[in-house]
Amino acid sequence: MNDLSLEQKLTSELSRGDFSRILTQQSYEYKSIFINRIRPDNNNARFFPAVIASDQLSYQITTRRLTKAQLVERLDCKDTVVIGKSCIVNCFNRGTVEWKKANDTIASILELAAHVSVSELIQVPTIYPLENDSYQILTGHRRFFAMVYTNGIDGAAHFKVYHNKPSLPRTKQFQENASREDLPKYGKLQAFQEAMLELDTLGAMRQKTEGKSLTVREISSLLGISMGAFDNYNVLTRYPAVLEAYQNGNSTSFIAMKKIVVNEEQKVREQTGQTMLNIEQKRAINKQLKNILSNARVDKGTQKKKRYRLGTVDSPELMKVILTENLLAMDTSIDWDSINWAQPKEVNEAFERVVSFLKNRLESQQP
């Protein structure tokens, strides 16, 4: 059966009561679900292209019975990341922007996986049921991948399960993630845009049924943010150059970036004597912002010194293995020949993977 359109769903919801209940009155429960029944959301701003490997295939990868070339051919996984029990393989072309972005996400997944292996997640992923007896992720993609890495797909894990698909899934995603400081800025802005498309539709439907649209206060409340934060998001999503800068790794705070945008807009207003900017003026501002942000330089005096770190070693047995065994000779699925030892971040990520591998090996050897 074809899914109803968003307009049809919202019209039905609004006909049954107050529009605010669309987000607040959605029943859920916490349940343990087998991981192989969970499906990532390819359209989520937090998603990154991943292929989930079976536990059997993961074992072949971790024991180095498959080369990376054989893995890519077998799974047709070029330009993706293969994730399975105790293994993550970046199959993007080495050195590309996509490869570097994937490595950043891999590092955060490994950090979460280390936490999952010793304790429960405080904020579990949220999911909702699909028609084929499976579930789709609403929020928590990295946490889900950390579960796959720790437990494999044949294991079970705890999830927050909505009884039905939320009427405004993108708004719900933004609402649940807005307060998290660890999410990339580009992902937050992209999620805001997607949520606003839903809320614009909701506003239009409410206009038809009640004769009034949504106020800024109501929209910010539905998004779960303050009116000041809403204004920040609004300003930062006006110009594609800002999103492009964050997508390419710009780390400027939202407040500082907003100041840059507002200053450029004010310059145009002062030059033209106009308070409302037209399309051509906005295009010119976007071009200027692109020049400013692409030529931005980090003050060398504020750059952090890059350091090599060994992470947390929480057992004497693990420390003994690290100090006495040849880690480079182990079957950890890490291509040591391709490691750039002059890059602390890359070396640190590799060592984190080694530590995770050793922890799993020690646990499997315990009676």
The band of 17, judged by pLDDT with boundaries at 50, 70 and 90, is low
CA dihedral 319→322→324→327, nearest 10 degrees, is 170
Burial of 22 (0-12, 13-18, 19+ CB in 10 A): buried
Are 71 and 64 within 8 A, CB to CB? no
Q: What is the mean pLDDT of residues 255-275?
A: 91
Backbone φ and ψ for 222, nearest 5 degrees, come out as -65, -30
The band of 10, judged by pLDDT with boundaries at 50, 70 and 90, is low
- Residue at 194 is within a domain: no
Instruction: Give residue 241's pLDDT.
Output: 94
Q: What is the mean pLDDT of residues 184-209?
A: 86
Instruction: Give residue 234's pLDDT.
Output: 93
Backbone φ and ψ for 52, nearest 5 degrees, come out as -90, 125
3-state secondary structure of 341: coil
Give the helix ranges, DSSP H, for 211-338: 216-223, 227-236, 240-247, 254-272, 279-294, 316-324
Calpha distance 47→336 (Å, rounded): 28
Q: What is the mean pLDDT of residues 357-366?
A: 78
pLDDT digits over 61-87, tens only? 999 888 888 999 999 999 999 999 999
Instruction: Give residue 298's pLDDT.
Output: 39
Indicate if the pLDDT at residue 305 is higher than 70: no
Summary mean pLDDT of the chain: 83
Residue 236: count other Cβ atoms within 10 Å of its Cβ: 20
Indicate if the pLDDT at residue 255 is higher than 70: yes
For the chain, give the percent of residues with pLDDT over 70: 85
Q: Could you tell me which residue, 262 or 10, shows the higher pLDDT? A: 262
Report residue 2 as tokens.
């074809």
Q: What is the mean pLDDT of residues 17-42?
A: 78
pLDDT digits over 138-175, tens only? 888 888 999 999 999 998 888 999 988 887 888 888 88
The band of 347, judged by pLDDT with boundaries at 50, 70 and 90, is confident
Cα 66 from chain centre: 29
Lowest-pLDDT range, 17-31, 111-125, 191-205, 344-358? 17-31
DSSP class of residue 36? G
Indicate if the pLDDT at residue 204 is higher than 60: yes
Q: What is the mean pLDDT of residues 201-211?
A: 82
For the chain, give the percent of residues with pLDDT over 90: 32
Indicate if the pLDDT at residue 4 is higher than 80: no
Give the range of the structural domain holding residue 358, as residue numbers without chain letter. 316-365
The band of 232, judged by pLDDT with boundaries at 50, 70 and 90, is very high
Calpha distance 109→102 (Å, rounded): 10
- Residue at 180 is within a domain: no
Instruction: Give residue 301's pLDDT.
Output: 39
User: Can you tell me which residue has the tokens 């890495």?
Assistant: 149
- Residue at 303 is within a domain: no
- Residue at 70 is within a domain: no
- Residue at 89 is within a domain: no
Indicate if the pLDDT at residue 191 is higher than 90: no
What does the angle CA 35 – CA 146 – CA 248 come to, to the nearest 5 degrees? 125
- The β-bridge partners of 87 are 84
> Amino acid letter at 79?
D
| Global pTM value | 0.63
- Residue at 49 is within a domain: no
3-state secondary structure of 224: coil
Q: What is the mean pLDDT of residues 205-226?
A: 85
User: Can you tell me which residue has the tokens 């922890």?
Assistant: 359
Are 149 and 113 within 8 A, CB to CB? yes
- Residue at 50 is within a domain: no
Instruction: Give residue 300's pLDDT.
Output: 39
- Residue at 346 is within a domain: yes
The structural domain count of the chain equals: 1
Report residue 269 as tokens.
């207003």
Instruction: Give residue 36's pLDDT.
Output: 92
3-state secondary structure of 126: strand
Give the helix ranges, DSSP H, for the chain: 6-15, 21-24, 55-62, 68-75, 97-116, 141-151, 169-177, 185-210, 216-223, 227-236, 240-247, 254-272, 279-294, 316-324, 344-365
Are 318 and 365 within 8 A, CB to CB? no
The band of 299, judged by pLDDT with boundaries at 50, 70 and 90, is very low
